[in-house]
Amino acid sequence: MIMLFNNIVRYRTLLVELTIDGIKARYKGTVLGVLWAIAQPLMLSAFCIAGFSRMWGGRASVSYPLFVYSSMVVWTLFATAVSNGVSSLTQNSHLIKKIYFPREILVLAAVAPPLVDFLFSFLLLMSVLIYSGILFHKSMLFLPMILAVQMSLILGISFAGSLLNVILPDVSRALPIALTGLMFLSPVLYSYDTVGGEHRMLYLLNPLGGIVESFRNVLLDQRAPDTQMFLIPLLMSLIFLALGYRIFKYGESIMADVL
């Protein structure tokens, strides 16, 4: 992990340039431009509310549209960043073949634009919360920590997944299916409290579930995250990051040859 930090510092200029290029390319030629940052979670929320409000709407602690949108902001960051991260090496194969630099810079630059999108969506969410009478609370001080845990999880998956995608291109094609399944296996559209007792331990092993639930605890319930619900994602995200980066560096030498 020290190597990762050192490479970020050493190649920070390249990282910033690639990130800016990624942000520009993301909205180039679109009509809505940067508004897509908030349009995507809004549209996903609208579809889910229309389809699942009768099933789970009555069990939410706040209005179901607000419940879903707050969850979807977190989910959209995860799904988009992981998708970008996993495909980052294959999409930048021309750079890998031309010059040498730490390949993790490509992964970091790929997951950064969705983080910018998240900030725009989060500002809209905060505006809606204030309009709904949910004001700033000291529990919101946990938000940077929750976001850091989520980004660690995203990077760990992206490091390992990007290398695997170089070796086995089917990974990028199977990823959307896996992400859709994970969304329904995580408490994005429903509360963790609705999960039956016999399945709760399995849900705790899903780090994304604890992240989403902790995010809602802080914003909607105005309380600190549940200790068990937060510590498990914290530990698992660190394990994912350390293991994913180790796998990534182990296979870094073969990337140019395979691509």
CA neighbours closer than 13 Å in the CB half-sphere of residue 240: 22
Sequence-separated (6 or more) residues with CB below 8 Å from residue 61:
67, 191, 220, 221
- How many domains is the chain partitioned into structurally? 1
| Alpha carbons 17 and 13: distance in angstroms, whole number | 6
**Chain centroid, CA 104 distance in Å:** 17
Residue owning tokens 């016999």: 198
Phi/psi for 30 (5° steps) reads -90, 155
Range of the domain at 225: 2-258
CA dihedral 144, 146, 152, 155 (to 10 degrees): -90
The model's pTM is 0.90
User: Per residue of the chain (259 residues), what is the pLDDT tens digit?
Assistant: 788 888 888 988 989 999 988 888 777 766 566 677 777 888 888 887 777 666 655 455 568 888 889 999 999 999 999 999 999 999 888 888 788 888 999 999 999 999 988 998 999 898 888 887 777 888 889 999 999 999 999 999 999 999 999 988 888 889 999 999 898 888 888 887 777 666 677 777 889 988 999 999 999 888 888 888 889 899 999 999 999 999 999 888 777 666 6
At residue 92, the 3 state secondary structure works out as coil
